[in-house]
């Protein structure tokens, strides 16, 4: 089966939130939620812009949603044919090959079929083809326009709307906080005669077509919608207008063709084919589609929010998800995107230096939830208690210090996999040194040994806050210090450059001190080969996940924080020790991985979509392929099934799951194929699950394009 279609039959407004995510169309610049053209703001439609943020009053800063330019209203004999009227038949699909959203709705007197895309060829453009099949004679009115009825979580964000009609409809507005112009324009083309007029109301500007229709007729309308902001060009409105005009002159089919060509190129670089299980093949395609669709191809330096471009959840912020979960697919398939993700960190170093200084440390402490300019989006109260409706003090912002090490880890991997040290030269080395400096200033001497402790931290498992010597964090720190030391060797041929960099940075920590601290970072206690997640972990109540779940009084209750049900137990939110073992495979023996896997997996809630892939990767390592397969499917299917947690306390956290999308690629490539790069050369160590008989995918290592092929007989790396 060669299935690229994610499909759904029926319309149920209750599913609008998850359908909007699953059927998302995006191109890195913007995301258009997968709702039909007629959907009202109650169905959470949105055009979410990458990298444009705004704060309304004292609410959370979040990305800006633009006006909706592919909005259509349909009337037949004076009756509105809106979707809320429960159409007799409705079906939607996402064609993941080219990021095409299609729907078919039977409204009774007319049937509508539409297709649309957010262009991969021109990041400012989206286009729609809307076909009406008339079933009975009558009078039809079609309104096509730009709706300013915008769904915001913490808005409104756009003010001073200016509307213009004429051949091009335009709406422009400015954001409240930074006065960024968001300009939108729409053009339409039709193959039918109609009385045409324009209308404006409080919620937008529309072109209105009226016509008597006859049974059997088909009417086709194409709409072209462009978005520019003043961050892109000085005159955003003219640029948006021009973009639409050009698209209309070219026509829908021509715009579609160049969009498809662009997707063909993306797939040629990254597409995995997996044979043996149709559901898995589709899930992996959907997953790869979602991650590729939100990559910042248009930008020199930009990262990807934790919920991609599916809306404003998680404040549109960039987390460690970027370096640890999205980065691997990109660095192995489209290194220029991996570069853009890391350049974002290089350029936001000033924000990280500022944050460290605010806490009284030196060096770079990166934002846990990073917005533009590296600004910290994470608040002190990131969860709202479901019982008291009060904000809960969470310490993610203050204590999740592994973030700096995660960034250094990705910078180092970029160099190891691409063999390209220019990113280190262009600021990457400086980032690694500043992260190392932060850890040196954050280190505590141990009271009764030579060990260096890292106290009062939070590891990936956010349910246990303010712990000491989180094994994952300490390992990331160790690696960060090693990466700083390794710069000497990487730049051995340019000793003058490194010395001048250190002098510029006033890098007071000498190499000796780095090496000394690295060697003394506390190692967590072990019990029967199981590494304690942090000091004192084994003293916590050891009970089952079901037991802890049974203590909940509300399904939305937050498990962490001061009163969370998990805090006093060994139940953890997500992979922590196991994430460390997945990221540093050479540091642990198979026996160690096996012992820790069997201990921690039953104690893990997998309350984050980042968790299952780490367990799957390590399950491959120890040959537990049934579990690897189960967790692979859980990861890859998350956006097919519309799964994942939707609430943290009273805060909505739904959206697409790019980390799981990246995780699915990681399990297939790094787990099933056992891909790794050692001394600049790719190696494979196949572990194909019994459900599959073939896995094939392209990679680029050290600038060379290769294909990895794994079958039941073994694996090979093919040169082009």
Enzyme catalytic residues: 462
DSSP string, 14-48: GGHHHHHHHT-EE-SSEEE-S--TT--GGG---EE
Question: Does 321 engage in binding with ligand BGC (CB under 6 A)?
Answer: yes
Nearest to 668 by CA among 691, 640, 700, 701: 691
Indicate whether 560 belongs to the interface with ligand BGC (CB under 6 A): no
Closer by beta carbon to ligand BGC, 307 or else 518:
307
| 707 token code pair | 């294909």
CA pair distance 347, 365, nearest whole angstrom: 14
In the bound complex, what is the minimum distance in angstroms from residue 472's beta carbon to ligand BGC? 11
Q: Confirm if 364 and 349 have CB atoms less than 8 A apart.
A: yes
DSSP type of residue 532: P
Establish if 460 lies at the interface with ligand BGC (CB under 6 A): yes
**Residues 572-611 vs ligand BGC: string with x where CB under 6 A?**
-xx---------------------------------x-x-
How many whole angstroms from its chain centre is CA 156? 24
Q: Which residue number, 73 or 307, has a Cβ lying nearer to ligand BGC?
A: 307
Judge contact between 93 and 79, C-beta under 8 A: no
Using the rule CB under 6 A, is 308 a contact of ligand BGC? no
Distance of CA 689 to the CA centre of its chain: 27
- Measured in degrees and rounded to the nearest 5, phi and psi for residue 61 equal -70, 140
Among 23, 117, 320, 326, binds ligand BGC (CB under 6 A): 320
Which of 53/314 has CB closer to ligand BGC? 314
Q: Which is nearer to ligand BGC, 28 or 644 (CB)?
A: 644
Which of 29, 101, 209, 314: binder of ligand BGC (CB under 6 A)? Answer: 314
Assign 445 to helix, strand or coil: strand
Site stretch for ligand BGC (CB under 6 A), options 30-38, 207-215, 314-322, 401-409: 314-322
Indicate whether 463 belongs to the interface with ligand BGC (CB under 6 A).
no
Output the six-digit token pair for 599: 């201990």
570 alpha-carbon distance from chain centroid: 29
Q: Which of 46, 74, 180, 306 binds ligand BGC (CB under 6 A)?
A: 306
Of 518 and 606, the one with the shorter C-beta distance to ligand BGC is: 606
* Residue 319 exposure: Cα atoms within 13 Å on the Cβ side: 18
CA-based torsion, 327, 382, 631, 23: positive or negative: negative
Using CB under 6 A, count the residues that bind ligand BGC.
Answer: 12
Q: Does 663 bind ligand BGC (CB under 6 A)?
A: no
Pairing mode, if any, of strands 218-229 and 444-445?
Answer: unpaired
Sole binder of ligand BGC in the list 633, 659, 675, 695 (CB under 6 A): 659
Residue among 179, 171, 173, 147 at smallest CA distance from 160: 173
Least spacing, CB of residue 218 vs ligand BGC, in Å:
45
| Angle at CA of residue 42, ends 37 and 43, nearest 5° | 50
CA separation for the pair 325, 78 (Å, rounded): 51
Which tokens is 136 given?
A: 């009975």
Is 52 among the residues that bind ligand BGC (CB under 6 A)?
no
Q: Is 29 one of the binding residues for ligand BGC (CB under 6 A)? A: no
Q: Which two tokens stand for residue 148?
A: 């300013």
Q: Is 23 in the site for ligand BGC (CB under 6 A)?
A: no
To the nearest whole angstrom, how small is the minimum distance from the Cβ of residue 396 to ligand BGC?
A: 8
CB nearer to ligand BGC: pick between 359 and 647? 647
Q: How far is the CB of 549 from ligand BGC (least distance, A)?
A: 17
Q: Which of 104/462 has CB closer to ligand BGC?
A: 462
Chain residues in the site for ligand BGC (CB under 6 A): 306, 314, 319-321, 460, 462, 573-574, 608, 610, 659
């Amino acid at each position: 089966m060669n299935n690229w279609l994610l499909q759904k039959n029926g319309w149920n407004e209750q599913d609008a939130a998850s359908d909007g995510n699953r059927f998302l169309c995006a191109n890195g610049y913007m995301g258009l939620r997968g709702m039909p053209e007629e959907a009202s703001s109650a169905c959470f439609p949105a055009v979410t812009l990458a990298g444009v943020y705004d704060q309304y009053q004292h609410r959370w800063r979040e990305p800006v949603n633009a006006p909706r330019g592919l909005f259509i209203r349909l009337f037949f004999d004076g009756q509105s044919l809106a979707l809320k009227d429960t159409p007799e038949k409705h079906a939607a699909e996402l064609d993941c090959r080219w990021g095409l959203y299609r729907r078919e709705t039977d409204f009774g007197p007319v049937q509508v079929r539409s297709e649309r895309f957010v262009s991969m060829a021109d990041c400012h453009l989206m286009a729609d083809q809307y076909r009406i099949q008339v079933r009975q004679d009558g009078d039809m009115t079609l309104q096509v326009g730009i709706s300013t009825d915008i769904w915001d979580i913490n808005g409104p964000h756009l003010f001073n709307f200016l509307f213009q009609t004429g051949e091009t409809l335009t709406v422009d507005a400015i954001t409240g906080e930074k006065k960024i112009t968001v300009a939108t324009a729409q053009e339409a083309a039709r193959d039918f005669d109609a009385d045409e007029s324009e209308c404006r109301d409080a919620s937008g500007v529309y072109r209105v077509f009226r016509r008597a229709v006859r049974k059997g007729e088909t009417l086709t309308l194409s709409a072209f919608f462009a978005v520019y902001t003043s961050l892109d060009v000085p005159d955003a409105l003219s640029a948006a207008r021009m973009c639409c005009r050009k698209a209309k002159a070219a026509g829908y089919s021509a715009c579609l063709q160049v969009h498809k060509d662009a997707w063909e190129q993306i797939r040629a670089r990254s597409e995995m084919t997996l044979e043996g299980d149709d559901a898995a093949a589709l899930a992996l395609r959907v997953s790869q589609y979602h991650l590729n669709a939100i990559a910042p191809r248009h930008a020199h330096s930009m990262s990807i929010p934790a919920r991609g471009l599916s809306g404003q959840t998680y404040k549109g912020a960039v987390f460690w998800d970027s370096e640890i979960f999205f980065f691997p697919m990109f660095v192995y398939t489209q290194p220029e995107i991996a570069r853009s993700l890391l350049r974002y960190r290089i350029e936001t170093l000033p924000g990280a230096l500022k944050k460290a200084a605010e806490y009284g440390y030196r060096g770079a402490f990166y934002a846990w939830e990073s917005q533009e300019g590296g600004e910290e989006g994470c608040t002190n109260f990131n969860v709202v208690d479901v019982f008291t409706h009060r904000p809960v003090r969470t310490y993610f912002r203050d204590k999740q210090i592994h973030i700096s090490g995660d960034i250094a880890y990705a910078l180092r991997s970029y160099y190891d996999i691409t063999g390209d040290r220019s990113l280190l030269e262009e600021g990457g080395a400086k980032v690694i040194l500043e992260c190392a400096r932060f850890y040196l200033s954050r280190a505590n001497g141990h009271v009764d040994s030579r060990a260096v402790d890292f106290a009062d931290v939070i590891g990936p498992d956010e349910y246990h806050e303010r712990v000491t010597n989180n094994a994952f964090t300490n390992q990331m720190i160790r690696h960060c210090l090693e990466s700083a030391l390794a710069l000497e060797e990487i730049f051995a041929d340019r000793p003058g450059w490194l010395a001048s960099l250190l002098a510029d940075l006033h890098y007071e920590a000498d190499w000796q001190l780095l090496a000394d601290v690295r060697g003394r970072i506390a190692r967590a206690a072990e019990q029967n080969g199981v590494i304690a997640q942090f000091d004192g972990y084994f003293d916590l109540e050891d009970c089952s996940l079901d037991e802890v779940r049974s203590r909940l009084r509300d399904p939305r209750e937050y498990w962490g924080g001061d009163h969370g049900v998990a805090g006093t137990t060994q139940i953890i939110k997500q992979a922590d020790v196991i994430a460390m073992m997945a990221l540093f495979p050479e540091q642990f023996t198979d026996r160690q991985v096996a012992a820790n896997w069997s201990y921690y997996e039953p104690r893990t809630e997998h309350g984050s979509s980042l968790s299952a892939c780490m367990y799957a990767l390590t399950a491959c390592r120890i040959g537990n392929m049934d579990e690897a397969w189960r967790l692979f499917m859980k990861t890859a299917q998350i956006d097919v099934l519309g799964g994942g947690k939707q609430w943290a306390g009273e805060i909505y956290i739904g959206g697409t799951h790019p980390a799981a999308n990246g995780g699915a690629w990681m399990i297939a490539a790094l787990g099933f194929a056992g891909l790794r790069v050692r001394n600049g050369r790719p190696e494979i160590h196949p572990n194909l699950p019994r459900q599959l008989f073939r896995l094939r995918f392209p990679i680029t290592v050290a600038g060379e394009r290769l294909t990895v092929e794994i079958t039941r007989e073994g694996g090979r790396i093919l040169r082009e």
